[in-house]
Amino acid sequence: MGHHILYIEDNPDNMMLVKRALEARGYVLVEALTGIVGVSTAEEKDVDLILLDINLPDIDGYEVARRIRASSKHTLAYTPIIAITANALKGDAEKALAAGCDVYMSKPINIRELWARVEAFVPAPEGKKI
């Protein structure tokens, strides 16, 4: 309990990388491959944190964040969202924050940064910390 992370991401390589990295620390990864599925998964399952890719095949990550924040499921107003942006220098980061994300990280994904950012919101399960 308390360690479920939803990752909304269409790229299978990133999904596998993050899945392995987070499972190694004892988290449970819940996967969603599109923005629409990501929003519905956030509403149907109790997740403790959301990792959100911005470039998705249907609605983009900004719209996903806005829909999650506007959800009638009240816990989604404050569930942490970490945006994963490909174009940090082009204003993606600022737009992600404006859409309701708490923090952002840039691609390519750095595993140590990922662990640190996730742990800032959701401590790793006991016995799995380095």
DSSP state, residue 88: G
Angle between helices 12-23 and 111-121 (to 10 degrees): 60
What three-state secondary structure class fits 12? helix
CA distance 127 to 106: 29
Could you give the CA distance from residue 101 to residue 68 in angstroms, rounded to a whole number?
10
Using CB positions, name the residue nearest to Mn ion.
55
Q: Near Mn ion by CB under 5 A, which window of 4-12, 40-48, 95-103, 116-124?
A: 4-12
Is 106 one of the binding residues for Mn ion (CB under 5 A)?
no
The helix/strand/coil state of 87 is: coil
Structure tokens at 53: 């890719």
Q: Which of 6, 48, 53, 115 binds Mn ion (CB under 5 A)?
A: 53
60 in contact with Mn ion (CB under 5 A): no
Q: Which of 34, 55, 71, 106 binds Mn ion (CB under 5 A)?
A: 55
In this chain, which stretch among 37-45, 51-59, 100-108, 114-122 interacts with Mn ion, using CB under 5 A? 51-59
Q: Which member of 4, 10, 97, 124 binds Mn ion (CB under 5 A)?
A: 10
Residues that bind Mn ion in the complex, under the rule CB under 5 A: 10-11, 53, 55
